[in-house]
Amino acid sequence: MTGIELIGNLDVDLIPFHLFYFSHNNEPTLLFLPPPDSVREEGQRWQQPIPRSSSVQGHDPEAKRVCLSICLSGGQGCGCLTETGLMTGMAFSLEERLQLGIHGLLPPCFLSQDVQLLRVLKNYEMKRDDLDRYVFLMGLQDRNEKLFYRVLTSDTERFMPIVYTPTVGLACQMYGLAFRRPRGLFITIHDLTHISTVLQSWPEKDIRAVCVTDGERILGLGDLGCYGMGIPVGKLALYTACGGMPPQQCLPVMLDVGTDNEELLKDPLYIGLRHKRIRGQAYDDLLEEFMKAVSDRYGMDCLIQFEDFANTNAFRLLSKYRDQYCTFNDDIQGTAAVAVAGLLAALRVTKSKMSDHTIVFQGAGEAAMGIADLITMAMEKEGLPKDEALRKIWMVDSKGLIVKGRDHLTHEKERFAHEHEQMRNLVDVVHELKPTAIIGVAAISGAFTEEIIRDMASFNERPIIFALSNPTSKAECTAEQCYAITEGRGIFASGSPFAPVTLPDGRTFFPGQGNNAYVFPGVGLGVTACAIRHVTDEIFLITAETIADLVTEKDLSEGRLYPPLNTIRDVSLKLAVKIVKFAYEHKLATLYPEPEDKEAFVRSLIYSTDYDEFAVDSYHWPKDAMTIQSCKL
Residues 125-180: pLDDT tens digits? 999 999 999 999 999 999 999 999 999 999 998 999 999 988 999 999 999 888 88
Note the pLDDT tens digit of each residue in 427-484.
999 999 999 999 999 989 999 999 999 999 999 999 999 999 987 889 999 999 999 9
Q: Which of 235, 392, 578, 598 is catalytic?
A: 235
Give the model confidence (pLDDT) of 31-43 as tens digits. Answer: 555 554 443 443 4
Distance from C-alpha of 607 to C-alpha of 218, rounded to nearest angstrom: 29
Per-residue model confidence (pLDDT) at position 77: 59
Q: What pLDDT does 58 receive? A: 41
For 20-29, 214-223, 224-233, which range has the lowest pLDDT when averaged over its residues?
20-29
Q: Is the predicted pLDDT of residue 56 greater than 70, yes or no?
A: no
- Flag whether pLDDT at 16 surpasses 60: no
Q: Which residues are annotated as a binding site for (S)-malate?
A: 217, 470, 515
> Which of 64, 146, 149, 164 does the annotation list as catalytic?
164
Are 6 and 35 spatial neighbours (Cβ–Cβ below 8 Å)? no
pLDDT band at 618; cut points 50, 70, 90: confident
Q: Report pLDDT digits (tens) over 543-592.
A: 999 999 999 999 999 999 999 989 999 999 999 999 999 999 999 999 99
DSSP state of 210: E
- What's the Cα-to-Cα distance from 67 to each of 85, 96, 206, rounded to whole Å? 15, 13, 19
* pTM of structure: 0.85
The residue with greater pLDDT, 537 or 12, is: 537
Is 235 a known active-site residue? yes
Nearest to 310 by CA among 291, 344, 289, 287: 287
Angstrom CA distances, 582 to 185, 431, 535, stand at: 33, 42, 12
Q: In what order do the strands lie in the sheet with 464-467?
A: 400-401, 393-397, 359-362, 437-440, 464-467, 491-494, 512-513
| Mean pLDDT for the stretch of residues 222-231 | 96
Angle, helices 145-154 vs 156-163, to 10°: value is 120
Alpha helices for 37-155 (secondary structure H): 61-71, 79-82, 94-100, 113-125, 130-143, 145-154
State the average pLDDT over residues 381-385. 97
Query: Which segments are annotated as binding site?
Result: 217, 307-308, 331, 470, 515
Q: What is the per-residue pLDDT for 502?
A: 97
Residues in the chain: 633
Taking the C-alpha atoms of residue 269 and residue 167, their distance in angstroms, rounded to an integer, is 20
Question: Rounded to an integer, what distance in angstroms lies between the CA atom of residue 632 and that of residue 590?
Answer: 69
Domains of the chain: residue spans and CATH = 5-111 (no CATH), 115-325 (3.40.50.10380), 351-585 (3.40.50.720)
Active site residue 607: no
What mean pLDDT value characterizes the chain? 88
pLDDT of res. 338: 98
The residue ranking higher by pLDDT, 89 or 488, is 488
* H runs (alpha helix) in 144-229: 145-154, 156-163, 167-173, 175-178, 195-199
* Tens digit of each residue's pLDDT (9 = 90 or more) over 404-427: 999 889 888 999 999 999 999 999
Distance separating alpha carbons of residues 538 and 612, to the nearest angstrom: 39
Cβ contact 367:331 at 8 Å: yes
pLDDT at 43: 40
